[in-house]
Amino acid sequence: MLEYISQPWPWYVAGPLIGLMIPMLFIFGNKLFGISSSLRHVCAAIAPANIPFLKYNWQAESWNLFFVAGIVLGGFVAAHWFPNPETVAIASETSSELQALGITEQSGLLPSQIFNWSSLFTLPGFFIIIVGGFLVGFGARYAGGCTSGHAIMGVSGLQRASFVAVAAFFAGGLFITHAVYPLLF
Amino acid sequence: MRNIKYLIMGTLFGVILYKSEVISWFRIQEMFRFQALHMYGVIGSAVLVGALSIYLIKKFNVKSLNGELIEIPNKIVHHGNWIGGILFGMGWALTGACPGPLYTHLGAGSSVMIVALFSALLGTWVYSYYRPKLPH
């Protein structure tokens, strides 16, 4: 049994389980599924400064902070007790294209040649980890949600804002992948 | 404590994100290169289940366990949806992670991702600061 769930989960198992998070949060607590707002709550809690957008009753949303603490715990539990195999079985074309960019080490969740502490002091590493992270936090709050809030919750609820957001997510991601990566590596 | 149930649900979500490989930078590259079904299958089937759940909740006026009627507010449409969306998508392709995966990485041991998470917090803070001056 443990060996079975130690395999990576196929999309048709994982996807529906993710979808079920929506009614689960509604039924157990009447809460909207979303993750990026946690970044705002943390900012409001630790450094609101004189910023109006950060001056609100973040304590009323503390359920979300417990939820994301749970996500950290979930990553820990899964990685330690039923980890995936070392290498993700990605498409061979993707693998070759990444190899051509110089990303030859393809084991693990993240390319080790980029995602390591010393690469933060190189231009590609700084750009990918620090600028990339900044864009995730800035962009998600500006858009009003991330993949969970827009692509899953919003699209499930047929929200126009979310269809727009998802199209924009892809525009940005495609630009980086196809126009920037060939220049960065 | 009331909030423990959210810790439990979050843990379940973190396990799913890890096991489904949605947190893999390589899977996100596959997705943006349109070279595999996996990520589309995850998101697509999540949306199908989510949409059906929302439909049923609305149709049967389902209440939460503490008796409240479940109401789903409409998301406001504004320019941030597409401007912020593009910026977010760029960050997603660079880090291979959106906020959920960033948290999962911390638990799973990808320690350098704490830098990405701090950077994301800074990004949210900077947005909050400049918000009155940005087009919406």
B88: left (phi over 0), alpha (psi -120 to 50) or beta: alpha
* Average pLDDT for chain A: 96
Structure tokens at B20: 């489904």
- Residue in A130, A136, A142 closest to B80 by CB: A142
Average pLDDT over residues A56-62: 97
Average pLDDT over residues B91-97: 98
Angstrom CA distances, B54 to A18, A24, A32, A167, A182, stand at 14, 11, 11, 22, 41
Best residue in A24, A27, A28, A72 for a mutation probing chain B (most B CBs within 10 Å): A72
Residue B29 neighbours by CB under 8 Å, 6+ apart:
A90, A94, A98, A177, B93, B96
**Radius of gyration of the CA atoms of chain B, in A:** 18
Q: Does A31 touch chain B (CB under 8 A)?
A: yes
Best residue in B26, B37, B64, B115 for a mutation probing chain A (most A CBs within 10 Å): B26
- Which of A 133-162 lie inside 8 A of B, CB atoms? 133-148, 150-162
pLDDT in the model for residue A125? 97
pLDDT in the model for residue A86? 86
**Radius of gyration of the CA atoms of chain A, in A:** 19
Closest CA to B102 of A72, A38, A130: A72
Helices A11-29 and B38-59: angle between axes, nearest 10 degrees: 30
* Interchain pair A169, B22: CB under 8 A: no
Cβ–Cβ < 8 Å for A120, B112 = yes
Beta strands in chain A (DSSP E): none
Cβ–Cβ < 8 Å for B97, B88 = no
Model pTM above 0.95: yes
Which residues in chain B have their CB less than 8 angstroms from residue A16's CB? 45-46, 48-49
Average pLDDT over residues A38-65: 98
Which residues in chain B have their CB less than 8 angstroms from residue A26's CB? 53, 57, 62, 64, 70
Which residues in chain A have their CB less than 8 angstroms from residue B62's CB? 26-27
Model pLDDT for residues A99-138, shown as the tens digit of each residue: 999 999 999 999 999 999 999 999 999 999 999 999 999 9
pLDDT score of A35 more than 80 = yes
Query: Quick count: other Cβ atoms within 10 Å of Cβ B39?
Result: 22
Model pLDDT for residues A137-155, shown as the tens digit of each residue: 999 999 999 999 999 999 9
Q: A121 burial class (0-12, 13-18, 19+ CB within 10 angstroms)? A: exposed
pLDDT score of B39 more than 80 = yes
pLDDT in the model for residue A2? 67
Residue B26 neighbours by CB under 8 Å, 6+ apart:
A88, A90, A94, A98, A106, A109, A111, B96
pLDDT score of A3 more than 80 = no
pLDDT score of B114 more than 70 = yes
* Interchain pair A141, B77: CB under 8 A: no
pLDDT band at A6 (very low <50, low <70, confident <90, very high): confident
Average pLDDT over residues A54-77: 98
The helix (run of H) or strand (run of E) holding residue A122 is none
Q: How many CA atoms lie within 13 A of B128 on its CB side?
A: 24
The helix (run of H) or strand (run of E) holding residue A167 is helix A160-174
Which residues in chain A have their CB less than 8 angstroms from residue B134's CB? 142
What percentage of chain A reaches a pLDDT higher than 90?
95
Which residues in chain B have their CB less than 8 angstroms from residue A39's CB? 99, 120-121, 123-124
Q: Nearest residue on chain A to B105, judged by CA atoms?
A: A75
The C-alpha atoms of residue A172 and residue B90 are separated, in whole angstroms, by: 4
pLDDT in the model for residue B1? 81
pLDDT score of A1 more than 90 = no
User: Tokens 């638990």 belong to which residue?
Assistant: B107
Model pLDDT for residues A68-111, shown as the tens digit of each residue: 999 999 999 999 999 998 899 999 999 999 999 999 999 999 99
Average pLDDT over residues A15-20: 98
The C-alpha atoms of residue A107 and residue A85 are separated, in whole angstroms, by: 9
Chain A / chain B CB contacts < 8 angstroms: 497
